[in-house]
Structure 1
Amino acid sequence: MILTVAHELFLAQIQNPTPETPPVADKLMKLVHYFTWFMLLSGTTGIMYAGGRFAWEKWSGGRMESPKMVAGALIGGVLITSAGTIMNSVIGS
């Protein structure tokens, strides 16, 4: 009975808040888009560098360290490009 009264007096008055866009969301989204573009550019550059280094190591007979670099760049690219999807599935409705 006490819980019912408490619910009717206090908890029933608290509504489920709806999300609102922050006042500077357009500038923040522009910054996020620049950051995403820079990450994609750096990932592409990393894969190209690792590919060139892979060819050089293969030609000169050196230690094969570049396949790890290619794998790291690919995994990083997948995580960066899917960050929005991951966050929507974790935080989303």
Structure 2
Amino acid sequence: MLLQALAFGIDLAATIPNPTPEQPPGTQGFTTILNWIAWAVILLGVAGFLASAGFLAFASFTGREINGFKGLIISLIVCILAISAGTIINVFV
């Protein structure tokens, strides 16, 4: 009985289709806009990193290094999330 149920489950799993995502026609402009947004986010993340590094260098004279360090960490997180957004979405979809 157990073997029959297991065999039925294997047969059922073999017949379930595994569709591959395909871009609908006419959405190339939307994809272009998403690429531009991703590029802008990465550009802003790098700019934030450079600004935070400059602030960190300047703040070392006044004793407020923690603000520059927080900015560096936040900009690194933004860049990592922007670069890996596609992979993260593919895990959940």
Asked if these proteins are the same fold (TM beyond 0.5), I'd say: yes
Q: 1:76 aligns with which of 71, 75, 78?
A: 78
Q: 1:41 aligns with which of 36, 40, 43?
A: 43
Gaps of 5+ in 1: 1-15
> Percent of aligned pairs with the same residue?
30
Q: Using the alignment, how far apart are the partners of 1:20 and 1:79 within structure 2?
A: 24
Alpha-carbon offset, residue 20 of structure 1: 4.2
Q: Using the alignment, how far apart are the partners of 2:83 and 2:36 within structure 1?
A: 13
* Structure 2 counterpart of 1:66: 68
Q: Using the alignment, how far apart are the partners of 1:28 and 1:21 within structure 2?
A: 10
Q: Using the alignment, how far apart are the partners of 2:43 and 2:77 within structure 1?
A: 15
Alpha-carbon offset, residue 23 of structure 1: 2.8
Could you list the runs of 4 or more consecutive aligned residues of structure 1 that deviate by over 3 angstroms after TM superposition? Answer: none
Question: What RMSD, in angstroms, separates the aligned Cα atoms of the two structures?
Answer: 1.9
Q: Structure 1 length normalisation: TM-score?
A: 0.72
Q: Using the alignment, how far apart are the partners of 2:34 and 2:76 within structure 1?
A: 21
Counterpart amino acid of residue 44 in structure 2: S
